[in-house]
Amino acid sequence: MFRSIKAPIGFIVSMSLLVIVVTVLLFAASESKRLYQDNIKTQSDFFSETIAQLIFPLVNEGTWDNVPIENALSTLSYRENLIAVRIYSPDYSRVVQLNGRESERLQESFFQELDPKNVPVGVVDDCQIVVTHYPIGSPAFVRGYVQVYTDVRAPVGSNFFSLVFYVFSPVFIVFVITLIVCLLAVNKLLKPLGALSAFTKQVTQAKDYTLRHKYTKRDEIGGLTHNINRLLETIEVELLINQEQNQALMDQQEIMTRLANYDSLTGLPNRQFVFDSMKLELARAKRNGDDVALLFFDLDGFKGINDSLGHETGDLILVEVASRVSMLLREGDLVARLGGDEFLVVPDRESNDASLHNLATRLIHAFAEPFELRGLSLTVGVSAGIAKAKDAEYDLSELMSNADLAMYRSKAKGRGSYTVFTPDMVESHKRKLHLANAIEKGLANNEFSVYYQIKINQRGQVIGMEALLRWNHPEYGMVMPSEFIPIAEQGGRISSITHWIINKVCQDLPELKQWVGRKFRVSVNLSVHDLRNSNLFDNIYAIFKRHDTNPEYMEFEVTETAYLENFANSNKFFKRLSNMGCAIALDDFGTGYSSLSYLTQISIDTLKIDKQFVREIEQSERSRLVTGSIIDLAKRLSLQVCAEGIENEAQWEYLSEHGCDSVQGFLFSKPVPIDDLMSVPLCFPRRVLDMDFLGV
């Protein structure tokens, strides 16, 4: 009802004052009435006595004459408030009556009903009339009686009104002044309460619980202030505890977010993070019809580094890779580690084809510099694949799989390159999957066959042949090893193939021996994955044993990359093969590692010059220099040199003139099945050509 406590207090004070004032007024009025009545009564007594004395001489002689009495009284009739004066004889038989100014106040019947002897004396008739009864003469000798009737109602009434009139105004003024003083006092008393209320409002609005209210008096408000201050102290302490707990929670949440979203080794965002952000980015791009690109890359030969130099070195390389790649990127590009040696770069939204190519090129170049780690200088290349969201219809897993496909294309092309995904790669991927799954069945169903390609010496005689695998697939027809060998390697099926071909060559060996008729060697290719198989030597030994194969008829070819990737194991393995009588050839020499220092440490018999140098002998001075140097190097190291890919007489002539021990190529024979091999000549006479153009 009241908005402020001051109002009810003011109301109570004013009502109390009013009640006091009214009570005082009423009491004063009643007291005044009583006093006034007493006063009139006294006056009436005195008046009666005066009349008695005035009348006494007129009735003293014992005569009773009304006329002189009436005359004596007549002068009194104007007395104020006088109703009547009655003079009685001693026996109350005679009466003289004087009517006063207020005579009409009484009916004549009043006197008729009245017993003059026993008239009530004092204030009678309901406080309206004062009656006095006074003897004339001495009490011992009474000559008559005087009765005076005086009106009290009218004078008392007018007295009350004048009392009210004269008393009310000052009382009212006093009332108002007292009220104002009381209200001011209340206001003053309540002022600290108002200040306290304003203070609590300030705290609520500012939410500043460090504020304290100052009020030093030891009254109720002081107690309240103290309690509020203590309440604020408690809130402040609780808030502090709360804030600390919140901070701890936030720190914990940050750590958990970091753990969940960032790679602990490199500090880069992890798969989870990049996938979450890519989902949002793809949804946005789809809405706006934009394209988003991904660059996916992994390190070439990282597994080999891990295996040969240990995981600690591998980790150091990954950290170094992360920092090299981060430095390449512009603001807005994102790089993440997906796991192992796989990384992902999400270029800025604004990137176009040119900037993507630029990024990929810079990335590959950034890895040209070797990593200097623990005193080692390691060159690690990258293979990258680029895919775009539109090609994957904005589906994240399809986009990732496209980038992955493109990256594997780069690996197949030759490492240290990048490939942009095109939709036809999906088809080829399906084909790859299909082939990978069909290898075991193909081996069991005899879909594979061995083709032999002869090798001849400087005199043109067949000195051996390379066993090259072919797959006559029921659906795809003839599938070449350059396609299915990498698939078999990735799918972990290369061991079965190697096992199968060695077995087959051992089976064919008697027939081949019969055909050649003198000492020769059959070469079998081994892959990098074969060298990781610790049972390989035992398996070969078992096959030789089974077929009673003389190891001196066998040669194994391995690429320098495969050899060096698992250097220690390869060295051990080839030494054992060598000790058994097998020959070892380093295939595709010149395409892999640039350092030649390892050549003195490995156990091989032959260097095979890669066909890419042979092909360009006629046109490229550089290729001539490389082949010449390889032959020279081999001679110094007492190694045999074999050149592959000879397609014309000039190439053969050039290589023979430079001291190449043996050659292999379409010039002599393409790889053919064993049956066709029998019709291949065993000797190729070399024509002497004019080699001036080659500077021979």
User: CB of residue 460 vs ligand C2E: minimum separation in angstroms?
Assistant: 16
How far is residue 681's CA from residue 177's CA, in Å, rounded to a whole number?
145
Residue number with CB closer to Mg ion (508 or 587):
587
Q: Does 557 bind Mg ion (CB under 5 A)?
A: yes
Roughly what angle, to the nearest 10 degrees, separates helices 353-366 and 311-328?
Answer: 140
Binder to ligand C2E among 465, 501, 536, 630 (CB under 6 A)?
501
Q: Please provide the DSSP assignment of 352-388 as one string.
A: -HHHHHHHHHHHHHHTTSPEEETTEEE---EEEEEEE
Residues 23-82 that bind ligand C2E (CB under 6 A): none
d(CA 541, CA 596) in angstroms, rounded, equals 31
- Closer of 298 and 587 to Mg ion (Cβ): 587
What is the per-residue binding string for Mg ion in 509-528, x denoting contact by CB under 5 A? ----------------x---
Nearest to 294 by CA among 432, 382, 401: 401
Q: Which of 560, 587, 653, 661 binds Mg ion (CB under 5 A)?
A: 587
485, interface contact from ligand C2E, Mg ion, none, CB < 5-8 Å by kind: ligand C2E
Q: Residue 207 has what DSSP assignment?
A: T
Q: HSE on the CB side for 613, CA within 13 Å?
A: 23
Structure tokens that stand for 171 in this block = 């009382």
Which parts of 536-565 interact with ligand C2E (CB under 6 A)? Answer: 557
Which of 47, 282, 665, 674 is the binder for ligand C2E (CB under 6 A)? 665
| Pick 13 or 680: Cβ nearer ligand C2E | 680
Contact stretch for ligand C2E (CB under 6 A) within 20-28, 153-161, 295-303, 645-653: 645-653
Phi-psi region of 320 (alpha: psi -120 to 50; beta: other; left: phi over 0): alpha
- According to the binding rule CB under 5 A, does residue 588 interact with Mg ion? yes
The residue within the footprint of ligand C2E, chosen from 527, 566, 623, 662 (CB under 6 A), is: 527
Find which of Mg ion, ligand C2E, none residue 192 binds, CB within 5 to 8 Å per kind: none
Which amino acid belongs to residue 45? D
Contact segment (CB under 5 A) with Mg ion among 7-15, 165-173, 373-381, 549-557 equals 549-557
> What is the CB neighbour count within 10 angstroms for residue 601?
8
d(CA 269, CA 64): 145
* C-alpha dist (Å) from residue 240 to 205, 237, 245, 564: 19, 5, 8, 63
Rule CB under 6 A: say whether 453 interacts with ligand C2E.
yes
**Tokens 């005086």 appear where?**
150
Interface region with ligand C2E, contact rule CB under 6 A, candidates 43-51, 417-425, 474-482, 577-585:
474-482
Q: How far is the CB of 407 from ligand C2E (least distance, A)?
A: 21
CA proximity to 403, closest of 417, 387, 391: 387
Give the N- to C-terminal CA distance of the chain in Å, as an integer.
123
Question: Could you tell me which of 523, 589, 598 has the C-alpha nearest to residue 568?
Answer: 598
CA–CA separation, 245 and 243 (whole Å): 5
The least distance separating ligand C2E from the CB of residue 606, rounded to whole angstroms, comes to 12
361 vs 417: CA distance, rounded Å: 8
Q: What is the DSSP letter of 683?
A: B
Bridge partners (DSSP) of residue 524 are 467, 556
CB 304 within 8 A of CB 255: no
498 binds Mg ion (CB under 5 A): no
Element (H, E) at 153: helix 153-206
Q: Report the nearest approach of Mg ion to the CB of residue 658 (Å).
A: 19
- Partner interacting with residue 671 (select from ligand C2E, Mg ion, none; CB below 5-8 Å by kind): ligand C2E
Q: Where are the beta strands (DSSP E) in 141-236?
A: 142-151
For ligand C2E, the binding residue among 159, 525, 533, 570 (CB under 6 A) is 525
Judged by CB under 6 A, the chain residues 570 through 609 that form the site for ligand C2E are 587-588
d(CA 586, CA 602): 10
* Interface with ligand C2E, residue 485, by CB under 6 A: yes
The reply on whether position 468 binds ligand C2E by CB under 6 A is yes
Q: Which of 123, 420, 469, 630 binds ligand C2E (CB under 6 A)?
A: 469
Task: Map residues 457-496 to x or -, x wherever contact with Mg ion holds by CB under 5 A.
Answer: ----------------------------------------
Instruction: Give the nearer residue to ligand C2E in terms of CB position, either 343 or 451.
Output: 451
641 binds ligand C2E (CB under 6 A): no
Least CB distance from residue 268 to Mg ion, whole Å? 39
Q: For 306, list phi and psi in degrees, rounded to 5.
A: -60, -45
Selection from ligand C2E, Mg ion, none that 482 binds (CB < 5 to 8 A by kind) is ligand C2E
Cβ closer to ligand C2E: 571 or 648? 648
Part of the chain binding Mg ion (CB under 5 A), chosen from 297-305, 322-330, 380-388, 550-558: 550-558
Query: Of residues 148, 479, 671, 674, which one binds ligand C2E by CB under 6 A?
Result: 671
- Residue linked to tokens 């070439």: 300
Strand, coil or helix: 647:
coil
Site for ligand C2E, rule CB under 6 A: 453, 468-469, 480-482, 485, 501, 525-527, 557, 587-588, 611, 644-647, 664-666, 671
Binding residues (CB under 5 A) for Mg ion: these are 525, 557, 587-588
